[in-house]
Amino acid sequence: MLKPLSKYFLPLFSGIILFSTISCKHEPETLPDPEIPIDTITTGIPCNPDTSYFQNDVLPILISSCAMSGCHDAASAQDGVVLISYQTVMTTGDVRPGNPGNSEIYEKITDNDPEDRMPPPPMQALSPDQIEVIRKWIAQGAKNNRCDSRCDTTLFTYSGVILPIIDNYCKGCHSGATPSGNVNLDSYAAVRTAAESGRLYGSVAHLTGYSPMPQGGKLSDCNITQIRKWIENGTPND
């Protein structure tokens, strides 16, 4: 990490000032700090654990697992369906607010036929928890809602923090038989390998020389800090 420069003013004689600058030191074992987290919002709508929020919960799943090249991004728009924003989800995904069973998007993610299921093989199907997030969101009216979650950078366990980030933002592209970029993140060992190689942090922090991830956006500064701290802590399976 590059330590900030500090300047000290040393008055000499009458009004003559000399500037002394401390030289930069590089500590290669410490990863670069992203900007100070800005998502620890003190005002706004607090998150209700019984509510499924489109911006916080649903959209990250759709972007990671569905809105990719060849499927449902803006350029591909397979079957005319684009899943990159609330507007495109509602206008092309045949969402019936209050009625998950008659919503095509829900039918697709729960279809038992591999040829009709979304995401299609060889990609992994959505997890039961992810399916429930989408079902609950539709059942609760399919609103364009969000909440101000209090992301805590002092928390960075693998099971409680890192794995949910990977599941919702990364695993859609980086799992199955043909993972994007040949980077598979469907197990702790695979995530640890990506972390220890520098590729995980380099991508989520959008560092020069790495492919920026997730596609079409960026994790919050708080989430990036949590990943950095977990890596600096030795990537434990905690």
Shared domain check, 178 and 119: no
The whole-number pLDDT of residue 196 equals 93
Query: In the chain, what is the straight-line distance between the N-terminal and C-terminal CA atoms, in Å?
Result: 26
Backbone angles phi, psi at 8, to 5 degrees: -115, 130
How many CB atoms sit inside 10 A of residue 41's CB?
13
The whole-number pLDDT of residue 64 equals 79
Shared domain check, 131 and 78: yes
pLDDT in tens, the chain (238 residues): 444 444 433 343 334 333 333 333 334 345 555 443 333 334 457 889 899 999 888 988 888 788 776 788 777 778 888 888 899 999 999 999 999 999 999 999 999 888 888 888 877 888 899 999 999 999 999 999 988 776 788 999 999 999 888 887 887 678 766 677 778 788 899 999 999 999 999 999 999 998 888 776 688 888 899 999 999 999 999 9
Burial 162-173 (b: 16+ CB within 10 A, else e): bbebbbbbbbbb
Query: Could you tell me if residue 45 is inside a domain?
Result: no
Shared domain check, 118 and 178: no
Shared domain check, 129 and 162: no
Check if the beta carbon of residue 74 is closer than 8 Å to that of residue 85: no
Distances (CA, A) of 232 to 23, 28, 163, 226, 228: 25, 11, 16, 10, 6
- Joined tokens for residue 6: 């500090």
Which range of residues forms the domain containing residue 75?
54-139
Query: Could you tell me if residue 215 is inside a domain?
Result: yes
Query: Could you tell me if residue 18 is inside a domain?
Result: no
Query: Could you tell me if residue 153 is inside a domain?
Result: no
Shared domain check, 61 and 94: yes
Shared domain check, 172 and 212: yes
Backbone angles phi, psi at 225, to 5 degrees: -65, -40
Count of structural domains, the chain: 2
Check if the beta carbon of residue 117 is closer than 8 Å to that of residue 108: yes
Cβ burial, residue 182 (10 Å; 0-12/13-18/19+): exposed
Shared domain check, 167 and 106: no
Shared domain check, 164 and 131: no
The whole-number pLDDT of residue 30 equals 52
Query: Could you tell me if residue 27 is inside a domain?
Result: no
Query: Could you tell me if residue 9 is inside a domain?
Result: no
Domain endpoint, select from 78, 109, 139: 139
Check if the beta carbon of residue 221 is closer than 8 Å to that of residue 34: yes
Shared domain check, 132 and 71: yes
Query: Could you tell me if residue 199 is inside a domain?
Result: yes
The whole-number pLDDT of residue 147 equals 85
Query: Could you tell me if residue 40 is inside a domain?
Result: no
Shared domain check, 191 and 119: no
